[in-house]
Amino acid sequence: MGHRTTGTSTRGACQGIVPPYLLEALARSGSLDPERVDRTLQVDARNRARRAAALAAAPSRPSPRAARAAEARPQRTVLDASSGEPQPARAEGDPPVGDATVNRAYDGLGETFAFYRDVFERDSLDGAGLPLRAQVHVGRRWDNAEWDGEQMLFGDGDGEVFGDFTASLDVIGHELTHGVTQYESQFVYQDQSGALNESMSDVFGSMVRQYSAGQTVERADWLIGAELLLPGVHGVALRSMKAPGTAYDDPRLGGKDPQPAHMRDYVRTADDEGGVHLNSGIPNLAFYLAASALGGHSWEGAGRVWYAALTDPATSSTSTFAQFAAATVRLAGEAADAVGSAWTKVGVTPAAT
């Protein structure tokens, strides 16, 4: 197992789609004004505190109400925070407005809701019809998107490296899945359980996009945040699930994508809550390998196994990779060999709790 360390201590770690080490790399490279990066990290820190409070207040294990497709409907509200004080911009059932960012947020909330309802019979993030609320144009050129424990927050991006954070459906699905995890496994946001928290959001965020596009495993690009990087950035996305460590290679972003793809390269660090955005590449690749082995639509094969493990009462909030892997193998039925093989290929041996 690797023992690399990365970067310096983060100034307000976050659970946003853009990890703090990327933001700090932008400041060090001079690509972005360090004061602007500090403002972003301060917003991230405040949002992280709100999400921690929401998690602490959440029930230990809710009893989701299975949604019937004919009855479950999203309850969306999108607010415009560009003036500093959020103002209503679009409510459930309203027609599109003149602001494309508002419309993308509204549509992304709906597509994520439809995915969980239609595929897993889940009625919103909590399984009991939780209204979906989002704020757009948050902060001043804020470089992130986050679920803060109660609502979605979207920045407009800096306009140089990152663009509008509503542009990527898998990012919206990723952040809303943090809400599902909040009501289910409640993975502690530290070390391996924190990396599982991030991986669940990448896994289900990618499936939201694949489901919306009707893509098979073979046709999907397995990228997270491909639409966020602006022209001139040497990279294809924030992360690659099928090839962790290859998403970008740009000095403005700190050089090469540092995500490991195997346990031998596991990153031990005090930064990023123990490397939660880094080491999530390992379970991400395990999911991709399992989905590829099973073929077809990811949400009909490996996705059902991962959802069963995420929502299994036996899954602990402090689960390690090996423990979560064991849960997926146990719940995989006839696909157990394919799922177990996927974990073995990334250096994780499924082990009972």
Give the tens place of pLDDT for each residue, 50-89: 656 665 666 655 555 555 555 789 999 999 999 989 999 9
* Closest by CA position to 110, among listed 93, 135, 127: 93
Please indicate, yes or no, if residue 7 is contained in any of the structural domains.
no
Say whether 184 is catalytic: no
By the 8 A CB rule, do 189 and 273 touch? yes
Pairwise CA distance, residues 222 & 244, whole Å = 10
Say whether 3 is catalytic: no
Pairwise CA distance, residues 110 & 92, whole Å = 10
Give the tens place of pLDDT for each residue, 277-296: 999 999 999 999 999 999 99
CB within 8 A of 307, min separation 6: which ones? 120, 204
Catalytic residue among 24, 111, 146, 175: 175
Please indicate, yes or no, if residue 351 is contained in any of the structural domains.
no
Please indicate, yes or no, if residue 2 is contained in any of the structural domains.
no
Please indicate, yes or no, if residue 129 is contained in any of the structural domains.
yes
Catalytic residue among 174, 178, 277, 297: 277
Please indicate, yes or no, if residue 352 is contained in any of the structural domains.
no
Q: What was the pLDDT predicted at 58?
A: 61
Please indicate, yes or no, if residue 146 is contained in any of the structural domains.
yes
pLDDT lower than 70: segments of the chain = 1-15, 31-33, 36-70, 352-353
Q: What is the pTM of this model?
A: 0.90
What domain count does the chain have? Answer: 1
Q: Name the residue range of residue 142's domain.
A: 20-345
Pairwise CA distance, residues 276 & 187, whole Å = 11
Q: How many CB atoms lie within 10 A of CB 47?
A: 22
Please indicate, yes or no, if residue 12 is contained in any of the structural domains.
no
For the chain, the average pLDDT equals: 89
The distance from CA 251 to its chain's CA centroid, rounded to whole angstroms, is: 24
Position of tokens 């959440």?
A: 58
Please indicate, yes or no, if residue 205 is contained in any of the structural domains.
yes
Q: What was the pLDDT predicted at 53?
A: 63
Q: How many CB atoms lie within 10 A of CB 303?
A: 24
Q: What is the CATH number of the domain that holds 215?
A: 1.10.390.10
Q: What was the pLDDT predicted at 125?
A: 95
By the 8 A CB rule, do 161 and 31 touch? yes
Position of tokens 């690009």?
A: 221
Q: What was the pLDDT predicted at 209?
A: 98
